[in-house]
A and B are shown apart, each in its own frame.
Chain A
Amino acid sequence: AQKITQTQPGMFVQEKEAVTLDCTYDTSDPSYGLFWYKQPSSGEMIFLIYQGSYDQQNATEGRYSLNFQKARKSANLVISASQLGDSAMYFCAMREAGANTDKLIFGTGTRLQVFP
């Protein structure tokens, strides 16, 4: 069963506008972490932001914020004031604390294109 779902294969946004990338997750574990990564065309994985399952406030990192709605099991990434350099693939990921080991699983990603 898919545990991380990103329903937007592609998104377009105009420069300087805000954009929201959707992510929903499924877990029965009370302790988990949610991450967003950016992958530019060069291929490297760049960590953007983290939200813990027990965190009361939404995480923010510069122009990135995470809209965490625990009851709905959603962890949407909001990018404010988009820049051309934000054009990339964006992946949502969840770290689950398993019985013997933690694992990190990813969604299928959203390709964001920022236009002037």
Chain B
Amino acid sequence: DAGITQSPRYKITETGRQVTLMCHQTWSHSYMFWYRQDLGHGLRLIYYSAAADITDKGEVPDGYVVSRSKTENFPLTLESATRSQTSVYFCASFPTAMNTEAFFGQGTRLTVV
């Protein structure tokens, strides 16, 4: 199916564990993004990427790692999960053209206990 998909949709993990959230898009969009959404904070940018092997830190990168070996995939890893990383995570992509909207995945609800 065409689009952008995130997996898993829901995840419960324990403090200190490593967890990876997956994001896959089928359009070959250049740009991909990871956000976390918390009440009162809107969507905050964690990491973003302009192309394979090019990534940049956003507003809240601490505790997260990303990679982009292929254009279509942009996994987000929490190296050692903490309770403060309990959140809803959204992946998004858009193409090079400025006047095109970003397309979002369905979100991953992560709970760290």
Alpha-carbon distance between A93 and B104 when the two chains are bound, in angstroms = 13
Q: Give the Cβ gap from A90 to chain B, nearest Cβ, in Å.
A: 10
A-B contact count (CB 8 A): 69
The winner among A50, A91, A104 for most chain B CB atoms within 10 A is A104
Choice from A9, A93, A101 contacting B54 with Cβ under 8 Å: A101
Are A50 and B101 in touch, CB under 8 angstroms? Answer: yes
Are B102 and A102 in touch, CB under 8 angstroms? Answer: no
Interface of chain B, main secondary structure: strand
**Interface 9-mer from A12-20, A64-72, A106-114:** A106-114
Indicate whether B31 reaches chain A with its CB closer than 8 angstroms.
Answer: yes
Choice from A9, A104, A107, A108 contacting B102 with Cβ under 8 Å: A104
The count of chain A contact residues (Cβ–Cβ below 8 Å) is: 26
Q: Give the Cβ gap from A102 to chain B, nearest Cβ, in Å.
A: 6
Alpha-carbon distance between A13 and B83 when the two chains are bound, in angstroms = 37
* A43-B106, A44-B106, A50-B101 known; A108-B40 Cβ under 8 A: yes
Indicate whether B88 reaches chain A with its CB closer than 8 angstroms.
Answer: yes
Closest to A110 in B: B42
Choice from A95, A100, A106 contacting B43 with Cβ under 8 Å: A106
* A35-B101, A102-B50, A103-B48 known; A43-B33 Cβ under 8 A: no
Are B104 and A102 in touch, CB under 8 angstroms? Answer: no
Indicate whether B74 reaches chain A with its CB closer than 8 angstroms.
Answer: no
Choice from B48, B92, B99 contacting A52 with Cβ under 8 Å: B99
Alpha-carbon distance between A71 and B14 when the two chains are bound, in angstroms = 49
Closest to A102 in B: B31
Are A103 and B45 in touch, CB under 8 angstroms? Answer: yes
B-side contacts of A100, CB under 8 Å: 50, 54, 56
Q: Convert A75-116 into 0s and 1s, putting 1 for each residue whose CB lies closer than 8 angstroms to a CB of B.
A: 000000000000000010101010011111111110000000
Query: Which residues on A are within 8 Å of B, measured CB to CB?
Result: 6, 9, 31-33, 35, 43-45, 47, 50, 52, 91, 93, 95, 97, 100-109
